[in-house]
């Protein structure tokens, strides 16, 4: 009886591992699809702006300006922590409430709004 239970447990573990791998593959395919759409969108927007007279140098200058707007020129846009109106603590980006006092954060308190 013990061997049968062990075999069933191993079978369930393999099935769970297969399901996890399938879920991960589906998520990766979704991320790839979203990135492809974003690249296409950016290319379309840049072609419209170029048609309006903007140059590659204009784009590079704006990119540097936006990159530095979060306090670090690092090729990323990170949301800095917000300040809780309830207790004044810094609240990590992405949290909907203060981790210390529970005060709900509003979108107006988020540095990038709803980005």
> For the chain, which residues make up each domain, given as ranges?
2-78, 79-115
- Specify the pLDDT at position 111: 46
Coil, strand or helix at 95: coil
> Using 50, 70 and 90 to split pLDDT, how confident is the model at 10?
confident
What integer is the mean pLDDT of 2-19? 73
CA angle 69, 73, 76 (to 5 degrees): 80
User: What is the three-class DSSP state of 104?
Assistant: strand
How many CB atoms sit inside 10 A of residue 102's CB?
10
Q: Per-residue pLDDT for 6 more than 60?
A: yes
Q: Could you count the other beta carbons within 10 Å of the beta carbon of residue 83?
A: 15
Say if residue 114's pLDDT is above 50: no
């Amino acid at each position: 009886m013990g061997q049968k239970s062990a075999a069933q447990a191993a079978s369930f573990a393999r099935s769970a591992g297969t399901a996890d791998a399938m879920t991960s593959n589906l998520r990766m395919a979704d991320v790839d699809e979203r990135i492809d759409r974003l690249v296409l969108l950016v290319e379309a927007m840049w072609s419209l702006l170029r048609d309006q007279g903007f140059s590659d140098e204009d784009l590079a200058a704006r990119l540097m300006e936006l990159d530095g707007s979060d306090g670090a020129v690092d090729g990323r846009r990170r949301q800095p922590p917000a300040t809780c109106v309830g207790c004044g603590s810094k609240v990590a980006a992405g949290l909907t409430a203060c981790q210390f006092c529970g005060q709900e954060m509003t979108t107006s308190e988020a540095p990038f709004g709803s980005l």
